[in-house]
Chains A and B, each alone.
Chain A
Amino acid sequence: MGNHSDGSPNHSGTVATAGQNEVEKFQDPGIPPHRLRLADTDPKAAKRAERQVAILFGSSVVGTVIFLVAYFAIDLGPDSTIATIRLQNALLGIGTAFAMLGIGTGIVHWAKALMPDHEVSEERHAIRTEEDRQAAVRIVDDIVEETGIKRRPLIRNTLLGAVALAPLPALAVFGDLGPRPDDKLAHTMWAPQEGKLKRLTRDPDGTPIKASDVTIGSAFHVIPEGLNELHEGKLNEKAKAVVLLMRLNPESLKPSAGREDWSYNGIVAYSKICTHVGCPVALYEQQTHHLLCPCHQSTFDLTQECKVIFGPASRPLPQLPIAVDAEGYLVATSDFKEPVGPSYWERDEHERNINS
């Protein structure tokens, strides 16, 4: 490669180089002279490199053997433990790593030390010739012209209309991917069934909770009575109905109008589903009476009816109205008075329906 002018063959009409044309530039000295490697001049070094490549390929064989031995010799039978699996996993990995790295480093070493390392220069060819370019543009123009689409707007517009509507069936056929939402998100299992109030039971075993079990400062993860007996849609119901139950000093609760009888002796129940995007609000800070969502750190203050005091949630957690039945067990006096969980477009409408 001889001297190239200045690395930018095309000055005409380009503004980016405009400021520089008057300034003299350094000449491109061309590709630096090729430097021979040790293996190019010293046959001993070449022989050494050859041996090194062979050793690397050999280590690959060792790796393959390690893999096969680990696969067949380690038994994952009944008396195997986690440690057996870990050992096998490590050996399979080491075997594969040796097998692969041996080949890979061997080939690369071979290429770098022994194969010709002359850098060569190749001309770039234009992606297309100027002649092709003009011909292509002409062809497209001719095609458009011959269809007459520009002269016949009626054809163009009806075609556009038809093409715009034609994909609609392709969208419509997905209509059976799921049922209509209706008001399914607005109700949970807590609604009393045939006049019978649902008891609050422990998650996951489903044993009912007596008010006397709930000491000040304690917290219970709660599911509705009968959830575990569901055969279908158990997780769907659980995803809406899970509740946190806590007992505070009754004086620290300042129930708003209409919520005076939603708690019992300082025992309150709130939906565990975050109003942000639906993670379980699983952390209860006993000292500060805060509930914290571990996913996005929304923080709710129990003493202010779970008002949001930090984080991305915008709405308080819904409260579940509770009371105590004749046997001293905690029961929900009604369903939640608003939809639980993350907000959705129809949520306010559903809330109004519940309270009307």
Chain B
Amino acid sequence: MSATSTANAPAFVAKTKGGRITDFVDQRVGGSGILREFGRKVFPDHWSFMFGEVALYSFVILLLSGTFLTFFFDPSMAETHYDGSYTPLKNVEMSVAYSSSLDISFDVRGGLFMRQVHHWAALLFVASVSVHMLRVFFTGAFRKPRELNWVVGGVLLILSMAAGFTGYSLPDDLLSGNGLRIIDGVIKSIPVIGTYISFFLFGGEFPGTVIISRLYMLHILLVPALILLMIVIHLFMVVVHKHTQYPGPGRNDGNVVGYPLGPVYAAKAGGFFFIVFGVIALMAAFFTINPIWNYGPYDPSPVSAGTQPDWYIGWVDGALRLMPGVIGDFHFEYVIFGQVLTLNVLLPALVPAGLVFTILFMYPWIERWITKDDREHHVLDRPRNAPTRTAIGMAGFTFYCVMWAAASSDLIATHFHVALNDVTYWLRALFFIGPVIAFIVTKRVALALQRKDREIALHGRETGRIVRLPHGEFIEVHAPLDDYKRYKLVGFESPVPLPAVPNEHGVVTRKEKRRAALSRWFFEDRVAPASPAELEAAHGHHGQHEAVESAEGQKTLSH
């Protein structure tokens, strides 16, 4: 072996020190192929591509700060009397888990800082995953060939919430204990096996003595391992697909326009890790998060008013709040064949979350089916150029936000001095009406923005310069766009509704008819991109000057 490799020793000799090191490593591990592939790989750049990076970096920060915390945290629920330096809780009976969390906060130097960093990074992690998903949805980045990576992203979103919740409960303080009790109540509402699941999870009756150590295992081992696995799959697929790019001059589905990985992109992305870390450190320095010493140890009897879960659980908690238990004389909990079905808990806990995630996971295939679009898409849609999709997304987002707001119904009531019951009634109404309103408004706004784009593409941008013509008319001078700016406004596809097509037997199936109806719903309101002929006509029409009035009749607005 060694003989052959010496014999094949390259005649090429690296001249610089860096080159010699690269060569040394390469001759031993053979990384030159990888380096050649990735060293100059082109990455498109856009501010909205940062959210995924923020998620990745906050996960790294979570691993770092979390590892530090495990050195001091003791997940035991054994009873102890507090003996640390926080005097208000001196000698108070509490679990070892709570006591060690207090020790991390008050007796380990930098421990409080690490706890704060960990909690803020966790909140940021779920937030950035969510915003990243929204970006991917609204720009259509989930389309072929990236459908599976969208699913992996959805799994990551669920896992990030699981990681958050299991960690939130660990300090065994009053606030998180009540959160666990709510979870227990929800689990008990599951038909047939609910009681058993509750007893198995808590090792007996709530709260028992094992739940913290079990959650700890999930929180530091199982969930992060799954997240890591999913991140690896996610990034692997990003490499296989290459990154999407925003539409613009010079960009099409056949190329990638951007900066090479080394050095510019790597420097920007690498530098960004430190910026994320720095921002989290600033938040940890100045904004208290989860001051467990104020809550006290878990005790099933007290509860503080105005309790709130961490933000990402809010929508599920809000759904629980919105559901009425009794309407008139109708009770949502009833007894069938001697068994209790408690729909007032079961429905809000399962249905909205189930709906959101089912549609989220299936959406790429739903849209693919409606549009019959089997092409690969590497150029993103500007949200306005896909009005129906954008409207669907906003409807879902509104649905989520109504539930999220409901988790703060009591705080809304006390802050704005309105009746708590009224807040709930309004939110109940918005739960159903909100998404519909959001859909209609968003779609109209998107279409209006498209019309504005047309206007600018055809007649130029407003200069603010008012000119009086010889015959007395005042006009505003419009400056024509250059080719590059115009292409950004006109270079998109505007699909038309796709009528039902018979299958190979010449039959138009019922499914196909439904698809055609959905296609009409998707695309019947459309604004076509301006065409060169229209631009020509616009110039001719206005003669020497570019006037603002746009002949409405010229627009090919099919309605």
Contact = CB atoms under 8 A, between A and B. Distances in A.
A278 B332 CA distance: 17
A89 B253 contact: no
Contacts, number: 389
A185 B200 contact: no
Nearest to B113: A92
A85 B293 CA distance: 13
A200 interface: no
Interface residues of A, number: 114
Contact of B271 (A111, A277, A295): A111
Contact of A10 (B251, B253, B410): B253
Interface stretch (B129-137, B394-402, B484-492): B484-492
Nearest to A231: B79
Interface stretch (B223-231, B275-283, B354-362, B469-477): B275-283
B169 interface: no
A85 B257 contact: no
A143 interface: no
Interface in A193-223: 203-204, 221, 223
Contacts of A127: 145, 240-241
Contact of B286 (A85, A90, A341): A90
Contacts of B191: 345
A112 interface: yes
Interface stretch (A94-102, A258-266, A329-337): A94-102
Given A1-B250, A341-B185, A97 B282 contact: yes
Contacts of A124: 242, 253-256, 378
A236 interface: yes
Contacts of A8: 252-253, 375, 493
A228 B323 CA distance: 37
A272 to B, nearest CB: 7
Contacts of A328: none
Contacts of B530: 26
A77 B37 CA distance: 56
Contacts of A23: 528, 531, 533
A298 B207 CA distance: 22
B326 interface: yes
B83 interface: no
Contacts of A19: 494-496
B299 interface: yes
Nearest to A299: B421
A62 to B, nearest CB: 13
Interface stretch (A27-35, A146-154, A158-166, A246-254): A27-35
A349 B252 CA distance: 66
A104 B188 contact: no
B312 interface: no
Contact of A280 (B259, B302, B424): B302
B271 A235 contact: no
A81 to B, nearest CB: 9
B260 A120 contact: yes
Contacts of B344: 276, 312-314
A180 B106 contact: no
B340 A347 contact: yes
Residue with the greatest number of chain B CB neighbours at <10 A, chosen from A185, A240, A314: A314
A25 B528 CA distance: 11
Contact of A345 (B194, B263, B284): B194
Interface residues of B, number: 133
B375 to A, nearest CB: 5
Nearest to A74: B109
Given A185-B205, A280-B303, A20 B285 contact: no
B188 A343 contact: yes
A93 B195 contact: no
A32 B250 contact: yes
Interface string B533-555: 10000000000000000000000
Nearest to A174: B200
Contacts of B306: 294
Interface in B102-121: 105-107, 109-110, 112-113, 116-117
A231 to B, nearest CB: 9
B42 interface: yes
A81 B307 CA distance: 27
Interface string A324-354: 0000000000000000011111111100100
Contact of B335 (A92, A310, A348): A348
B171 interface: no
Nearest to A91: B285
B454 to A, nearest CB: 12
B383 interface: no
B113 A89 contact: yes
Contacts of A17: 493, 495
B300 interface: yes
B183 to A, nearest CB: 8
B253 A279 contact: no
Contact of A314 (B256, B339, B342, B487): B342
Given A19-B496, A28-B250, A106-B271, A89 B302 contact: no
B529 interface: yes
A356 to B, nearest CB: 13
A265 to B, nearest CB: 25
A348 B338 contact: yes
Contacts of A91: 285
A245 interface: no
A327 to B, nearest CB: 25
B532 interface: yes
Interface stretch (B25-33, B67-75, B366-374): B366-374
A269 interface: no
A106 B271 CA distance: 8
B484 A32 contact: yes
A76 B106 contact: yes
B99 to A, nearest CB: 15
Contact of A279 (B145, B181, B278, B421): B181
A31 B333 contact: no
Given A1-B250, A342-B184, 20 more contacts: A7-B251, A20-B528, A28-B252, A93-B113, A96-B117, A101-B279, A104-B275, A107-B267, A119-B258, A120-B257, A178-B202, A179-B204, A180-B196, A239-B206, A276-B344, A294-B304, A295-B303, A296-B320, A296-B321, A345-B340
16 contacts: A4-B254, A14-B373, A16-B372, A88-B110, A89-B285, A90-B285, A93-B286, A97-B282, A123-B254, A123-B255, A181-B199, A276-B345, A277-B181, A297-B424, A343-B345, A344-B340
Q: Which 5 A-B pairs have the closest CB atoms?
A: A93-B285, A277-B185, A104-B274, A107-B271, A31-B250
Interface of A: 1, 4, 6-10, 13-20, 23-26, 28-32, 71, 76, 78, 80, 82, 85, 88-94, 96-108, 110-112, 115-117, 119-124, 127, 174, 177-181, 184-185, 203-204, 221, 223, 233, 235-236, 238-240, 242, 272-274, 276-280, 282-283, 294-298, 308, 310-315, 341-349, 352
